[in-house]
Amino acid sequence: MKVNEQIAIDHGLKKEEFIKICDLLKRTPNLTELGIFSAMWNEHCSYKSSRLHLKKLNTKGKNVIQGPGENAGVIDIEDDDAIVFKIESHNHPSFIEPYQGAATGVGGIMRDVFTMGARPIANLNSIHFGSPQHPKTKNLLRGVVKGIGGYGNCMGIPTIGGQTSFDESYNGNILVNAMTLGLVKKNKIFYSKAAGINKPVIYVGSKTGRDGIHGASMASAIFDDKIEEKKPTVQVGDPFTEKLLLEACLELMSGKSIISIQDMGAAGLTSSSIEMASKGDLGIELNLNEVPCREEKMTPYEIMLSESQERMLIVLENGKEAEAKKIFDKWNLDFAIIGKTTDTKKIELFFDNNKVAEIPINMLAENAPIYDRKWKKTKLPQKIKFNKDDFKKLKITEVLKKILGLPNISSKEWIWQQYDHTVMGDTIQKPGSDSGVVRVHGTNKAVATSVDSSASYCYAHPSTGGKQVVCESWRNLISCGSKPIAITNCLNFGNPEKEKNMGEFVECVEGINEASKFLNYPVVSGNVSFYNETKDKGIKPTPAIGGVGLIKNYKTIITMDLKKSTNLILAVGKTEGHLDQSVFAINILNEKKGPPPEVNLFNEKNNGETILKLIEDGLVKSVHDVSLGGIITAVSKMAIKGKKGFKLNKLKVLVNKFDYYFGEDQGRYIIEIEANNLSKVEEILKGNSVHYDEIGEVTEKDIIVDKEPILHIDDLIKSNKNWLRKYMEN
């Protein structure tokens, strides 16, 4: 096939990009070369619309061993231990084929982690679906959850946390973001940078098929009515093979054979080989006849662009081939020497004794397009002047029950019960809490982790929303008694060629960076997912933040469940009663305008560090951060978790009781303390200039709010736990 401009456009390249390719090569590329360019220059692989702005992110910190630029980020957790972690999107594939899309998303992120020498110890996810009333939502949710559980459970890696939301903006583009943490010794971290000339290039894992071809390009495209035609671009996963690959790779890594290693993820053999060569400033030569294929008569084009799963590319030390092959034979995996490193600084491909492609590496990496796209700044919306007369007919307890049963607030137990969250035997805190917690095996240390996003806040004002989601992650880690260390991000947005969407991205990144810097909470890895758009309608900006923190002694962990009747309940942090963009305003008053709550980074840091001090001093019995739904929703979730009741005192503050109980002011926590420790707690809070309100006490079972009818804890449990189960059963 003779390549022309239209064929290039069909490959997802712009006209001007095709012209640039021809100018760089000083000729027209052949079809295989065009396929390689289209894979490496698409948005998913090249970050051509985001690179300029991602450079602004705070990526340095005293605990950072490896920041962005590798398969995953790495942080120091003391005692020669390190945590490798990353979050990544698999949005488009999951919308097309939910089970395999979600499953291979989990498989891909685990390979990113164990490629660096780490054994995966925990999985998380951030999944977002359209309106519950949309005809596709239920089946998409069912398929995605089965895919996540099907892969993670078979791998024997616990899924210990996550987040699920519903919003009509995801009707045409669901989001599936998968996160994995792995544990490694600091002297056993492996990188993807190739080194040395004439070193053998090894292919290991599963055979190459025709599944997933153009998967990376599809992830950089907008959906239309022909979405069903894209199913062949979705990869097919095999977790049992990945488990074998994990064990084989870790066994080989225990020696000194590996120079560099890279998983074959997006763009498959193309991206893995080129990235290894580019980082090492080398060339690479591949004989595609040696690539193990499971289908007959595969072409060089198909072999290079296949995204078949459970495959790795390794550069070995000379003379180590037999030793390595023995290991992969033992695990019943393919092992093939398919090429070598060179000094040409080119990728050269051979097939049937013919050279079928020759491209200078820098044309694919350094010369990939970088766009400084136009963007539009979002104005801070005016505050809503709520008609307080609308509140008079409302009962707090009735509003509370309704809020607890909303799709985005209700218990997600139906989801996480399908995940194995205790396998490996080190899970200390399972899903359904502020953070998941796993013990560092054989030690007293534990790692806390959570994943958060806030599309409504980001849509209303992206820079504020970006700051907020970082702070939410910070608070979730602190609430269990961990010291926050670093974050990974998955930035999900619409078409970057639209100024509004690009502006949302730029400002969210700026907000994330501002909070990250102030909190000393660096970004060490991540992913950008653009073009989440169908028929010209994009998603709300949805940056997902995965946070990791350290607990030096897991026995000091704090949980969110209320413990004992007569214990006091305090709200820590100032409550101003911000209702704009709140769950209350949107779902009770049907008011969707207004600004998100202001983020005061000084208060966030000061309040969080003070909560950690209270935990360290053994002065609190339970902690939960205040987020969606405000104070009363936070207390209710603590009560549901502990199967206790609570009594809230009559307000002594100047704000309206609905503002106070349902406002979503940031930087706040609910703490439970013993009455005899009140003076000690007050001394620390006042000493750090932290505002607090003594708002009530724990009861045995009754829910008492001012003069309203008394509820029983079972009423709240029923309100919170029934929606999702009933929705999926009907």
Whether residue 519 contacts residue 471, with contact meaning beta carbons closer than 8 Å, is answered with yes
Tokens read off for 273: 């080989």
Q: What is the DSSP letter of 380?
A: P
Tokens read off for 637: 């979730």
Single out the catalytic residue among 90, 128, 214, 461. 90
Single out the catalytic residue among 44, 92, 578, 624. 44
Q: Where do we find the tokens 């490193």? A: 341
CA distances from 213 to 9, 99, 241, 689 (A): 16, 18, 20, 58
3-state class (DSSP) for residue 348 = strand
Per-position DSSP letters for 281-337, written without gaps between them: T-EEEEEGGGS-BSSTT--HHHHHH---SSEEEEEEPTT-HHHHHHHHHHTT-EEEE
What are 258's strand-pairing partners?
Answer: 316
Is 90 labeled as catalytic in the residue annotation? yes
CB atoms within 10 A of CB 391: 17
The Cα 431–Cα 413 span in angstroms is: 8
> Pairing between strand 346-351 and 283-287?
parallel
**Sheet bearing 711-712, strands edge to edge:** 622-625, 669-673, 568-572, 692-699, 645-648, 702-705, 711-712
Beta strand spans in 186-310 (E): 200-205, 258-263, 283-287
The residue count of the chain comes to 730
* H or E segment and range at residue 429: strand 427-429
Is 92 labeled as catalytic in the residue annotation? no
Q: Which of 607, 610, 643, 642 is nearest to 626 (CA)?
A: 607
What are 487's strand-pairing partners?
Answer: 523, 547
Q: Which of 124, 66, 209 is nearest to 523 (CA)?
A: 66
CA distances from 379 to 251, 376, 461, 503, 666 (A): 54, 9, 7, 11, 20
The Cα 276–Cα 285 span in angstroms is: 12
Tokens read off for 28: 């027209």
Instruction: Report, as residue numbers or ranges, the catalytic residues.
Output: 44, 90
